[in-house]
Each structure stands twice: as C-alpha cells, then as structure tokens.
Structure 1
Amino acid sequence: MANRRKKTQIASQKEQIHDFFKENRDRIYTLNDLYNHFDIIDQEDKLFLRLMVEDLVDEGKLKPEGRARYVINEDTKSSNLIDGKVDFVNPKFAFIRYNDQQSDIFVPAEDLQGALDGDTVRVKITGERKNGKNPEGRVVEILKRGRDEIVGKIKVYSTYALVSPDNKGFHEQVFIAKDKMNGAETDDLVIVKILTFPKGSIQATGEIIEVLGKSGDNNAEMNAIMAEFGLPVKFPEDVLRESEAISEVITNEEIAKRKDMRKTLTFTIDPADAKDFDDAISYKNLENGNFEIGVHIADVSHYLRPNTKLEEEAFRRATSVYLVDRTIPMLPEKLSNNLCSLRPNEDKLVFSAVFEVNSSAEVVGEWFGRAVIHSDRRFAYEQAQDVIEGDNETEPVYGPLLKNLNKLALILRKKRFEKGAFNFETNEVKFNLDEAGRPVGVYQKVRKDAHKLIEEFMLLANKHVAEFVYKMNLKSDHPNPDDAFTMVYRVHEPPNPTKIETFAAFANKLGFPIKTGSTASLSKSLNGLMTQIEGTPMQNVLESLAVRTMSKARYTTQNLGHFGLAFNHYSHFTSPIRRYPDVMAHRMLQHYLDGGKSLPVADFEEKCKHSSDMEKLAAEAERASIKYKQVEFMSYQSKTDIFQGVVTGVADFGIFVEIENTGCEGMVRLADLTDDFYEYDADNFRVVGRRKNKIIGFGNAVRVKIKATDLERRSMDLELVSVEGSSFAIKEGGSGKSSHRGQSSKGGRKTSGGRADGKRSSSKKRRK
C-alpha cells in the first residue's frame, strides 16, 4: 500500500471509502469493518486508512457515531459557507485556515467585518484569486473572539492614549480614554482589556488592566511575552496557601506502601542551572550478568490531588514555560523545587519503571509502581560527560556505571534508527546574560552523549508504560481492545503527503533525493540527508524545514503511534513536574495497577486537547523570547561590523539570512539591492539579476552588516556586503519569476510563520 501514497492516489482511496459509505447507508461501520472490507492487515496500512477516514470526517462527508464508528453524513450539502480561524498576516488581508488538506481562504481586510487575528469566523466563498491557489471570500459572521486582552506599548496624549499591540496579527491601535489609563505612561508595556472591537472605520477601545513596566526593561518584556500568548505568570494566593500547607514529612506508613529502593545506587543528570529534578536513574549489576536500571520519576500525583485549587491551576497551565532567562513553572515552588524535586541526599517519593536489561539492551523484565528513593549524587550534564570520557580511576564507582549506561543507550538509539526513527539533531539557542538580563553572548548548545543517555532511558520508560497499558487490552476479554483501558498517549502521525512531497521537491533541487513511497524509505532518505549536511552551514536550516514538514506531536487517548520515534506505543510519563499529561498518565497507570476498570475517554480526550493547545502556546512564547533576545543581542553590535551568514529563505520582497553561530536571522530587502534589477525565481528559491545574471539563493554563503533592529517587532534588517558562493547547486527548472527593483512587497502570503520557504525562527527545543 506504501507505493500508493501519492497525492492523486490518496484522493482516489478516500473516494473509495466515501463510496463504500454511500453504497451502505443502512448501518454504522467500525474501523474493523473497513479493515475487513478493504482487506487490510498491516498495522501501517490500518493507520493510513484511519487518517483518511478522519480526513473525510473533517470534510463533513462522514459523521462519527461514538469511538471508531462512522456513518455517511446525510446532512452534507453543497455550501460556500466555511468556518475557520483568522490568520491576519498583513494589514491589507488575512487568510482563513480551516483544514490542513485544503487551501486557505484569502479575505481582504475590508471584508473581515471587524474580525481579528485568532477569531473563529464564518466565511462566504466569493470566487478564486487570480493566482488560482486560494479561494477568496468575505466574513459573514464572527463566531468566537480569539481574545479580549492584548499587550502593547502605550503613547499618552493630553486627553487620551493609543496602544500599539505587540501581536503581529493585530494591526490597529487601540484607543484608551483618559479615565481608563490606570496610571500608565508613555512607553509603558501594558495589558489592555478590549471594551469594543473595531468595525469598519470605528477604532477598537479598551482599558489598561495592568502596567508591566517600561518598554526595553527585561522583566517587562518577558512578562509581556507571557501575556501576549495568554499564559499566566503569578500563582493565585489560594493556590500558594494550599501548596504551603502540604507536609514535607514522609511517614513510615507511606514508605510501607512502596518499593523501598533507597539502598540502590541512584543519581540525577540535569542542566547545571536546573532547580527541579523530576527524573533519576538507579543502577545495579545482577548476578545473572544483566543490569537493573530504574527510571524514577517524581511522584507529583501523590501531592497534587483532584478537586483542589492546586489541581485546577496545574491543569489550567498544563505545562511549564521556558523563556530565555526564566522558567514559569506549572507547579508552585514548594512542589516543583522542593517536595517533588529529586534532590541529592534526601528521601523522595517516586513513580518508577524498573527494567532488567541484558548486554544487548534488551528488556527481559519490567516493574512499574510507586517507590521511595535516596539520590546519592547530582550530576550536571557537563560533569557526567567528563565521567563518560574520563578514566575510571578518577571515578571508580560512577565511571564504569555511566560508561555502561552510555553503551546501552547507544544500542537503544541505533535500534530506533534501524526501525525508522528520525535522526534530527537540532541544537538549542542559548544566551549569556548579564545581571540586568541583557544578552552579552549567544551560542548553540550541542547535545553530547550525557544528554542522549538520559534521553534514551526516558524514551524507554515512556514507551514501555504505553505498551504495558495497551497490552492490558489484549489480555482482557473485551471484544474490541480499543474500547478498553483508556490511556493518554503522545502521538506523532505520519506527515501530510502534500507537505512531504513539497519538501522532497525542494530537497531534490538542492541535490538531495528524498524517497516518499513508504515510511521506511522516507525515514532512510531523511536520515541520509541529515548525515550529508551535518556540520555544514545548511544543517540547522534544512533540519528546521524537515521538522516543520512533519505533523505536530500531540496528546490523545487514541493510540496512533509515534512516527518520528518509530514507536507503535508511546506516552509521556517522565516529566510530571512540568507536564500535566504525565500526571494523568501516572494516575491512570496506578489506577490499572490497582485493578481498576477503564476510565472515561471523553474526560481525558478533552484534557489532552487542552494540554496540546497549551503546549503550543508555550512553544510560541519560548520562540518569541529567543527572537527578542537575538534581536537585542544584535542591536548592541556595531553597524560597521561584517558578519558571515547563510541564505535561509527567499521571498518576493527580501532575502532571509541567518548569522553564523548565533541562530539570529534578519532580512535583506530587495528594495535595498540597487546594483541590478532582480527577479524573484520562486521555483528555484532565488533571485536573479536581470542585467548581470547575479544569483542569490537558498544556501548561499553571504557577508552582511546590520542595517536596523526593531525590538518591538523582533525583526532585523540587514545590508548585503557580498555573496561568496552557493553551498549547493540548484537544479534548473521552472519559471515563477516576478521582477523587483527599488520596491518591497507588503503582501506575499505568510506561510508557516511568514516565510516563502516555510521557515519559522525557533528555539529548536524538541518535544517528543
């Protein structure tokens, strides 16, 4: 079935499924019915069919009737009314996004009827755009406002004030009456409650509900980013009081209920500046030559009880947020840095996954349950790396231990890649900050064996916890295993075929053939690409593009597998201090270990969606803080300095350049290139000088100067000094040219963050 996954053939198969339902309107059909009808046995093919059924549901052609049960949607009628979300990409127009498989709807600003970025609207299709790529429409109804609070900088006049929003999708200033200013002064960063939304020529009005501080102040800017994405910073007083009331004493009665592993050698490996340690590793050599390896996770669910203010706040936040200079925790400090943190030389309550592993890194035995541990030592990653690389005489206990764990981790890692896992080694952008929070240095953090060692054993625990619950279904007497023993899974679905074909065409032009016929060939091709570009200027760029081509990982009660890790079953179990889904997984696993029956799907599915949504907002806030600090760092550099860079994207209005060794990205506007009349060659990701035939394209090494930095917009304009040659030879083909000289397009559709190549600046933090 793999060789049929081309775009036209996918459409054909979806049509076959839809035809089956149209011909059999007499009853409800399950996925198993479809597997039998289409003679599908292979698990990969089953997943593919399930995805096509979900597409038909999204398109309104099928209607779900309970879990994994479907019927033809008799109510489907041809209509040109579509509901979607506003992406206000430009002051002149917006796109309405409603289905990943369909083209977004173009709506001119005057036809938005006052709709703002993030609003859910109903759109009437009015025709097709001239480019033929997008339908055009107009908003007929605003169904739901995306937000009623915005963050921005205020300018105060004698009788009123205006607030310019930080949100790039909010293009209008908000009018503030004199009695609604709440003491704000010019250049303050403020949070505005919108009182009346804009409509036609009528301006939005609001009131200041909080003054965050002066624009440019580090604390004010970071708090503004949190507020921009609707993320909380301070804990309510009743939540803090509840956390402070929790006893720190571990009673003998509690220890008696648990597996006592305090005498087993145990340690933690975390970042040097970490304050919360939510995972520890224990190690013991067994008489049979195998090894007992314990993955011990902070037992947050012991302290975080249902129907409490603490529980409500943890669910509301759903995740910790990691900005450049601070962590905004999911749990109050009493829990995150004290009660639940697995600090050395203290007894701690944990939820453990203990494995018996042989020298081939095969799990030959496992145990799950609550335990008590005593961490003997805390390692920073750098310290653990030194032990792995050093001699055993310096570390007679931990030297052999960590080296053996590293050996096992490397075997586990190799096995994952052999099964089709993706080898994306993206690096995090990190900053050296002074006491005021100003960036005085920027670098990319390189992951070494110590990082990968911990990662592999965390993956092992997450995988086996998910497998354990799933296998309980197989042992039960339920006729349909999917209907029993609900679990929160971390899933990563196969990529959208259209997106992967687009990326493959792009990579092929750079000289890297990508095979997309099956998941195995796709994985092998992408891993081969990563190997070829390792250490080159293009590594971060192409890795980022490849990652964005993939589907986004999310939480759900449906066991859809993890495509990127090549796991059939995967959950999140190892970070309950900072992720609410891990807390749910702990509770569910203990419930089943105690002999409990299956839990209600609907309750947990709703919580999964909320957790996925909050994770997305947290990631966007993290990226915004990194982008702000990158631009701030570059603003301190001399305008006469020349920087090495690489072209990371080309649009019809400019060339995007990433500064070497910093991850900082800026734009050279085509309007500033006065040495020739440049034509934008969209098909080959480049611009071409009409008279001199000078080519500037994706992968070119360039030298640039800083022209201007804009902290409010988190953007940087660059001046092109020279083009030093192309990193890769572009294969010729296609036209798609548009001419530009002395002008800059203010249009151009924002694709995946405003880039013609789909690139979005990112902290590159991986969330598996």
Structure 2
Amino acid sequence: MISIEKIYNYIKAKKRCNYLSIAKGLQVPYNKSKQLTIALKEMVEKHKIILFRDNTYSILVPKGTIEGVIKYSKDARFGFIDLDEENDGEKVSYFVPGSSFNNAYTGDFVKAEVYEYFENSSLKVFAHITEVIKRKEAKIPGIIELNNSVITFKPIKNDYANTRFVINEFKIDARLDDLVLAKICAWKQNELHVDIVEKVSNISDPLCYVKSLLAEREMPKGFEKEVQKEADLIPDKIDPKGMKNRVDFRDELIVTIDGENTKDFDDAISVKKINNSYYELAVHIADVSYYVHENSEIDKEALKRGTSTYLANKVIPMLPEKLSNGICSLNPNEDRFTMSIIINIDNNGHTMDARLVQGVINSKYRLTYKRVNEFIESKKRFEDQSLNKMLNLAWELTQKIRKVKLSEGYIDFEIEEPKIILGDKDQVVDVIVDSSGPSERMIEDFMVRANEETAKILTKAKIPVMYRIHDVPSEEKILTFKQVMNALNIKIELDSMNLTPLSFQQAIEKIKKQRFDSFLQIMFLRTMSKAVYNPENIGHFGLASEHYCHFTSPIRRYPDLMVHRAIRDVLINNDRTKIEHMRKILPTISEMNSEAEQKALQIERDTNDLLYAEYFRNKIGQSFNCQIVSVLKFGMFVEFENKTNALVHISTLSDDEYEINDDSTAIIGKNTKNKYRLGDKVAVVILKSDPINGKVDACLVKNYSDYFSNIKQNLKQRSKNSKK
C-alpha cells in the first residue's frame, strides 16, 4: 500500500507537481499506479491536497474553523462566508468553491474548515463547509410552470441554479405563471422538497418582482387584528378632555407644506415678526404620543417596524391609517392635537429662546412644495394676503437660518436622485431627476432648527434623549478621499486629525469650485459616517449640530415618538420617575431603530433598482451618454442623465486587457494604455436588463460590435462542441 504520508511530504517538498512527477519521485511501479490514483483522489476529498485545472497538486494547510452564513454567487458556482469581525475596517470574508458547499444552501448558517495553499507564488485561502448548523428559514420566490406535463416550481433567482425542486404540497391555490413563495420541507443533495405556501402575484403584473422582494423580506402587508382593533377604538375627532394644559393655536395662520401625493401631514408651521425686532417660528408636530401609549398593541408594532417605508407605488406605514392619515394627520380645517416648539430667532438667524408646549391647531392651508416654489421663484401670489405675508417672512427667515448653519459647517451635498413615474397599471413610464426647490429647503431648515432646539431643551433638563448622532469621518476614509482627489488633479487641503464640520465643508466648497460632478457627490457621501440613534450624544457632524434629535416626524419614525414621550412625561408633566425607565430602555430601542431604518432604506433602494431595470428593459440596444462614477476590479459603473446606473463589465472592453490602477480611479489597458477614469464622459449601449435582481449591463459604444462578434463566435464553438 502506498503511504499517504510519503505522498504528502513529496508534494510539500516540490510545492507543486503532477501525477507523473509523484509516481516517478516515489518510484511507484506500474502495477501500483491505480493505488496512487486512488490515494491522490482520497487526499483531495479529505482536503490534504488540492488539484488544479492543469492537473497539478499542492498541499493544503488547515488554518482552523469558522462559522457564518454562506451566500452563493449569482450563478451559484461559488460562494462566500462573511464573518462579523473586521480587518482594517473591512468585513472578513472567505471564498467557498461550489465543490465545498457540502449540501449547504445560500443563507444557511454553517461551520467550515479554512485552508491555505500557494498558486503562482500567491497565498490563497478557501473554506470547505463541514456542517450546516442552521438552515435558512426564509421562503423562496418562484414561478409555477408546466414542464413535460409536470407542474414544477422554478426559483426566480439563481441562488439555487444547480438544484432540482420537487413540489411536496400546495398549501394555497396557485395557477400556472403565478409567482409564489415556497417553504423548504426537506433537504437532499442538489434536491429540495418544498411546500407552496403563499401566492405573491402573477408574472403579468408589472410590479410582480417588487412584490416578490417585499414578500421574501417579510415586509408587512397590513396590520394584525389586535393592532387594527385598537386603532378602531381611537376617535375621529379630538377629545375635549385632551384640551387640558394645551395652548390653543387654532386662530393662528398655520399651514402644512408637503409633496403633492402626501397623505400623512405630521408637521405644520407659522412664522411671525414680533415688534419688527425678531421672528417667531412655530413648528407644530402631530401629537402621536397622546394616542399611542407605551406597550399598547399599536406601540409594539410601531417599534417593530421602526419607520414607514416609502416605495414607488405605495407606503408601508409605521402606524395604522386611522392614525397616520386620520386623527394624527394635520389635515386642513381639522382640529388636531400637537406637540409644538416655539422658537424666537433674532435678525441674524440665531435662536434667542425656545419652549416646548402641548398644543391644538387648525391648519388653514394644505400647501404643496410645487405651489410654494412658484410663490418664491415666480412671485405667483395667493389670494389670501395674510398667507403671502407669512410666506414672505418664512422665506426671509430661512435664508437667515441657512446662513447661520453654513457658517457653522452645515454640509449641503445637493444630491439629485431618480424618481420613478408609474402609469395607471403600475407600469414604469419614466425615470426622471427628482430635484428639490427652495420650499423643500425652507421646510428642511425649519425642521432641523426644531430638532436642534428640542435636543438642547431636553439635554439641559437632564432628560434622557434618543439622539440622532453622526460621527466624524474616519481617518482611513479621509485618506482615501484625498488620494482620489489628488489622482484626479483636484486640489484639496484637509487635516484628518483635526477635522471639524466647518473645515470639511470649506474643503468641499473648494472642490465644488474646481469641479462638481455626480461621481464627486457620491465620493462625498461615501466619505461620511452613517448617522444612527444613540442615548450618548456626540453631536451631528453633517448638520454641524452639537445637540440633535428627531422630533418632527412621529407618524413615520419611532424615535420621534420616543422624544415626544420624554417631553410629555418628564418635561411637561414633571414625572421624574420615568427617567430611570427611559435610561434603561433607550440603548436597546436606539439600536433597534437604527437597524429598522437601514432595513427600510435597503428595501427602498432594492425595489427602486428592480424598477430601474424594468425601465431599461425596453431600451436594450439603445445608446446613452453617461459618466463614470465608480471604478472596480470587475468594471465600472456609469450614471445616466436621470441618475440611474449600469455596469460596464471589464470583459466587454474588448480592445485590450484592462486592469484597475492602484488608487481605484481608473481602468487602464495593459498594451494600448487606454484609460477610463472617474468622471469621464462615455457613450454606452444597453446590453441587458435584469428586473429580477435589479441590474443593468452596458458596454461602450466603441466595443459594441466586438462584443457581439465574440458572442457569435462563442455560440458557434458551443454548437461545434455539442455535435462532437
């Protein structure tokens, strides 16, 4: 019998060798060559050695065990296990070849052995899954099809590309071409048995893939009976008993200013000039805390959701409609309870004093951003002269407030985003740039000032606050930012060790004067830290605020509701016994709300990506002018005039072999030295649109003919191979 140990030691000494070298080196006689073949195969299976494509072997060095979630690649040929730990700020991730899945499926929590080996003088690492610790319980979206007279389930994504699905049972009524959710009931090697448990839509529905994503992510469709039952008990009109200790603002000229399609109005404003010496800004916010009490069914569901989620075709609300669009919404000509902040502001835009009160209002006008923008920009007046006067004062005040904020270091990134236009049957009609005007900025300025002053009042009163914090950009991010700017010949002076909002803002403004393209806006945002909720205050870097919390949107954000409770219970009712309770719950609730916010943002982005891809599905073969906004190892992302993106994969650059440069600002041809840099304007052709995964692929117009020639050549080769 051939010694496994001898084979291992020989390969280790040689570092890399083929079968003949091993047989010759170990002097294996011809009649024992089969034993050597079996031994080598066994060593490969047991991960003692690795077999390369050129039929050479190298040893594998075990480096320990890891546990994590396996995520398949798009074509399920390989995967990655991501760990929670970080290395230099980067998530630690291990490559898993398809041969090492070992009956684990994407999303499963697994245990794996990590191995190292050398290939072409480079140290390589991979993981081999040894155990499935916990199966992914999520439901799989797919389509009911008929194949060879057999009803089958076909997943819409490639996560299970090499897997056969067997329908065990239909738990619901489903027809052909229905998009459904399947629940795994048995796992076998390359075969999954599933129950069909939920109908999502039909593939004829323009929004079927959006609905599929929402169902897969378990986004709520409505409210549970217990929640709705509790909401139904809430009156449609304000309760006279609730008027006690409220300031009556019903005779004041108070207005709401929102989007044309807004249905829930949680903020209203009024502006006065007092004795011609200072301004009185009143920000009135829906008093949700009066109706939603801690640990009620509505409250528990609101905490679970954390925020409303805004999609192209609808809103998934945090609160039942009875509250969000009804008694809590500051609808015109309706009496509504509010939590109000009255801020006195001097002629230079600085706050003189502020006070928080419980109020009751009756909004006189439901104004839109569009109409108020016409008032500001085109001097298009309203019939009510008192309204004209108030809006003039509001515009006058906001310019003073903004001047103060800019002097403190407030950063206005001026980000433009795509807006999806849906038709009457929910089909994507267009994608346009959603730009904001002066009225949007005015309301933003008023809300920021209200949030700042609320945080200051609560902090001064030593009341626990769920702050909205935004940390200073990390030194690593600033260094990367400076390197990219220098590579693009954009002059920048920035001291990462002594960074302040003002110094960062001044650097941004200097860059804007040299160049201000979309890719720079993206770079600015990537440099910033992520804003989160936290009971410990470190300030808000982006807003240049020492104290900041969310107070102005309790209909759609749970943190605002928490702030309102602190105001009512402790500041107004002086119940100091609540303080310890608040201190105890705030860390957990802050973390929950930060996570809920990120989940909602991701859902919004992902559903929008699906619809952007749907938009481009009818534009395959068309050419567009665009700008390179991101450069990666596998290609470059380009941005169109409507602010949507497509990937130009490096494989489509057919005139040369391209690679990314050291500072990730350009892709450069090895032979031609052709260079595609961040910010370059290019013309592309849409190649492919994937409305299931929300991806759009393009190639440069100059490479379009070569791309198709290569495809035809590959098809011919496949055809030849299939005939052999």
Q: TM-score, normalised by structure 2?
A: 0.79
2:617 corresponds to 1:617? no
Tell me, yes or no, if structure 1 residue 721 matches structure 2 residue 711: no
User: Residue 466 in 1 paired to residue 452 in 2?
Assistant: no
Aligned pair partner of 2:178 in 188, 213, 218: 188
- Give the direction of change, closer, same or farther, for the CA distance of 1:172–1:191 in structure 2 (3 Å limit): farther
Report if aligned partners of 2:169, 2:194 keep a CA contact under 8 Å in 1.
no
- The 8 Å contact of residues 210 and 610 in structure 2, kept in 1 or not, is answered as no
1:706 aligns with 2:672: no
Output the CA distance in 2 between the equivalents of 1:295 and 1:128. Answer: 64
CA gap of 1:202–1:643, structure 2 versus 1, over 3 A, is: closer
Distance 2:160 2:535 in 1: 35
CA distance in 2, matches of 1:400, 1:273: 26
* Counterparts of 1:457 and 1:361, CA distance in 2: 11
Counterparts of 1:431 and 1:246 in 2: how far apart (Å)?
35
C-alpha separation between the residues in 2 aligned to 1:115 and 1:528?
Answer: 50
**1:629-656 residue CA offsets vs partner (Å, 9 max, x unmatched):** 21111222362x3211112233343332
Letter in 1 for 2:625: Q
Report the secondary structure of 2:431's partner residue: strand
Distance 2:220 2:80 in 1: 28
SS of equivalent residue, structure 2 residue 701: strand
- 2:226 match: 238
Indicate if the aligned counterparts of 1:123 and 1:138 stay in contact, CA closer than 8 A.
yes
Say whether the 8 Å CA contact 1:285–1:291 is kept in structure 2: yes
Q: Distance in 2 between matches of 1:99 and 1:249?
A: 53
CA apart distance, 1:467 = 1.6
Note if contact 1:677-1:689 (Cα within 8 Å) is conserved in structure 2: yes
Matches within 5 A, 1:437-476: 437-473=426-462
**What does residue 649 of structure 2 align with?**
669
Tell me whether 1:595 sits opposite 2:581 in the alignment.
Answer: no
One-letter amino acid of the structure 1 residue matched with residue 613 of structure 2: V
The range that moved more, 392-401 or 310-319, is 392-401
Corresponding residue of 2:717: none
- Larger CA deviation: 678-687 vs 326-335: 678-687
**Which residue among 488, 494, 516 is the counterpart of 2:472?**
494
Counterpart residue type for residue 629 of structure 2: T
Alpha-carbon distance in structure 2 between the residues aligned to 1:535 and 1:145: 53
1-structure distance, mates of 2:680, 2:327: 52
Matches within 5 A, 1:454-533: 454-473=443-462, 485-512=463-490, 513=492, 515-518=494-497, 520=499, 524-525=503-504, 528-529=507-508, 532-533=511-512
1:571 CA displacement:
1.0
Structure 1 residue 422: deviation in Å?
2.4
Aligned partners of 1:231 and 1:618 also within 8 Å: no
| Cα distance in structure 1, aligned partners of 2:531 and 2:102 | 34
Distance 1:563 1:421 in 2: 8
Quick one: which of 64, 73, 80 aligns to 1:94? 80
**Cα distance in structure 1, aligned partners of 2:325 and 2:236:** 12
Alignment match, 1:379: 367
- Offset of 1:564 from its aligned partner? 1.5
Residue 585, structure 1, aligned to residue 585, structure 2: no
**Other-structure match for 2:23:** none
Q: How far apart are the structure 2 equivalents of 1:254 and 1:330?
A: 24
Compute the displacement of 1:423 (Å).
2.2
In structure 2, the residue matched to 1:39 is none
Tell me how far apart the structure 2 counterparts of residues 584 and 443 of structure 1 sit (CA, whole Å).
Answer: 36
318 and 176 in structure 1: CA distance in 2 versus 1, 3 angstrom threshold: farther
Q: Matched residues, percent identical?
A: 29
Paired residue for 2:279? Answer: 291
Q: Could you tell me how far apart the structure 2 residues matched to 1:393 and 1:669 are?
A: 52
Deviation at 1:305, TM superposition (A): 2.3
Instruction: Provide the secondary structure at the position in 2 that maps to 1:98.
Output: strand
1:647 to 611, 628, 635: 628
Q: What SS does structure 2 have at the residue aligned with 1:162? A: strand
Question: Quick check: 1:360 aligned with 2:341?
Answer: no
Asked whether 1:267 is paired with 2:255, we answer: yes
1:34-93 deviation line (CA, Å, top 9, x unaligned): xxxxxxxxxxxxxxxxxxxxxxxxxxxxxxxxxxxxxxxxxxxxx966665555555312
Shifted more, 578-587 versus 180-189: the winner is 180-189
Please name the residue that 1:480 is paired with: none
Among 347, 357, 376, which residue is 2:335 paired with?
A: 347
Amino acid at match of 2:286: A
Structure 1 residues 237, 322: closer, same or farther in 2, change over 3 A? Answer: same
Aligned counterparts of 2:469 and 2:668: Cα–Cα separation in 1: 43
Give distance in 1, aligned partners of 2:214 and 2:630. Answer: 29
Q: CA deviation at 1:249?
A: 2.6
In structure 2, what is the Cα distance between the partners aligned to 1:312 and 1:170? 36
Q: Once the 2 structures are TM-superposed, how far is the Cα of residue 684 of structure 1 from its aligned partner?
A: 4.7
1:351, distance to aligned residue in structure 2 (A): 0.8
Tell me which residue corresponds to 2:165: 175
- Contact 1:358–1:364 at 8 Å: present in 2 too? yes
Contact 2:409–2:505 (CA under 8 A) maintained in structure 1 = no
After TM superposition, list the pairs within 5 Å mapping 1:623-634 onto structure 2. Answer: 623-634=605-616
Normalising to structure 1: TM-score of the pair?
Answer: 0.75
Does the aligned pair in 2 maintain the 1:161–1:178 contact within 8 Å? Answer: no
1:164 has 2:155 as partner:
yes
Deviates more, 1:152-161 or 1:234-243: 152-161
CA distance in 1, matches of 2:155, 2:635: 25
The partner residue of 2:404 within 415, 426, 431 is: 415
Larger Rg belongs to: 2
* Cα distance in 2 between the residues matched to 1:119 and 1:606: 27
Once the two structures are TM-superposed, the CA of residue 169 in structure 1 deviates from its matched residue by 6.6
Conserved in 1, the CA contact under 8 Å of 2:349 and 2:404?
no
Distance verdict in 2 for CA 1:673–1:219, change over 3 Å? closer
Aligned position for 1:539: 517
C-alpha separation between the residues in 2 aligned to 1:170 and 1:455? 46
CA root-mean-square deviation? 3.2
Q: Structure 2: which amino acid aligns with 1:591?
A: D
Alpha-carbon offset, residue 531 of structure 1: 6.2
Contact 2:668 2:676 in 1 (8 A): yes
Q: Which runs of 5+ in 2 are unaligned?
A: 1-62, 704-708, 712-724
Give 3-state SS (helix, strand or coil) of 1:490's partner: strand
Cα distance in structure 1, aligned partners of 2:406 and 2:555: 29
